[in-house]
Structure 1
């Protein structure tokens, strides 16, 4: 165990922290999200193991920091910096989020109800769907039902051409 603590704890912590930093900056800048999202999440979780080993290895110096009060202020500052980011979710005033749930609801709604959201008349949406090869018997059918009857994916029925 001493071999792991002395030789691997700090280098693994630094290496995984570097990966987490690079992937985090890329995600922040919206660069290569497909490459970095899973990497960032999973390797940041993996980072916890060498972090715990690093803390274990350096427990005595950490206790000295805590006794002198040198640990308290950086920890409080870190929490104070983090709270504003978490506050909207904690207070229930968060906006945005994943469009998955609204999209599912829209796909199940009758096209008569969906058309105004797309700035169309129900008949206009029915005609637009027919032009794309989706046959709808009435404006009371949902996109999901129409797509299913035409053996296609529902979302493609309402996406603009070229997507």
Structure 2
């Protein structure tokens, strides 16, 4: 069996399952449920969906073309393009306000240890100790979360979680 035969045999099943995964993860993201589980899955597997979708279209090209002889395909095309355009237009105008969560994260990501200590209602030494318990070396009270994340190779969310919570990692005393 050739590589082309294998690809053609699996185009429709892969399209089906990757679409269903994209559907479920997209609904979860829309509802704000389990973003930490679904965001990366949704983005990356949706990229993988492109290949089997392309193969599926190639395999079923004649059938697809026959749909364009019917008004339902043209009406659907126009409705979908208008809806996509409306969302794109709305998104282009939303840059002034933006997503408040991303604005808050941006502010936290650029916050110094002094600012984080104030947010956590503690002192700089405590925030620094919390970060040290997860292996992040703080050299100055003016170090930012972004610079520490980059220097330590860790995710900013991990650092913020450690800096702002009073819970200690399992088996370690509270600072």
TM-score normalised by structure 1 residue count = 0.62
| Deviation of the 1:156 alpha carbon | 7.5
- The CA distance in 2 between the partners of 1:2 and 1:133, in whole Å, is 58
Structure showing greater radius of gyration is 1
| Deviation of the 1:16 alpha carbon | 0.8
Q: Does 1:159 align with 2:161?
A: no
Alpha carbons of 1:3 and 1:78: their partners in 2 closer, same or farther (altered >3 Å)?
A: same
| Deviation of the 1:155 alpha carbon | 5.1
Alpha-carbon deviations, 1:18-37, whole Å to 9, x = none?
11112222222333322222
Unaligned runs of 5+ in 2: 129-138, 150-158, 169-175
1:95 alignment partner, one of 95, 98, 103: 98
Alpha carbons of 1:155 and 1:31: their partners in 2 closer, same or farther (altered >3 Å)?
A: closer
| Deviation of the 1:132 alpha carbon | 4.0
Alpha carbons of 1:104 and 1:72: their partners in 2 closer, same or farther (altered >3 Å)?
A: same
Equivalent position of 2:112 in the other structure: 107
- The farther-off stretch of 88-97 and 30-39 is 88-97
2:42 alignment partner, one of 28, 33, 40: 40
Equivalent position of 2:133 in the other structure: none
1:145 alignment partner, one of 136, 140, 143: 140
Tell me the C-alpha RMSD between the 2 structures.
Answer: 3.7
User: Quick check: 2:22–2:42 contact (8 Å CA) kept in 1?
Assistant: yes
Matched residue pairs, number?
138
| Deviation of the 1:74 alpha carbon | 0.8
| Deviation of the 1:131 alpha carbon | 8.0
SS at match of 1:40: helix
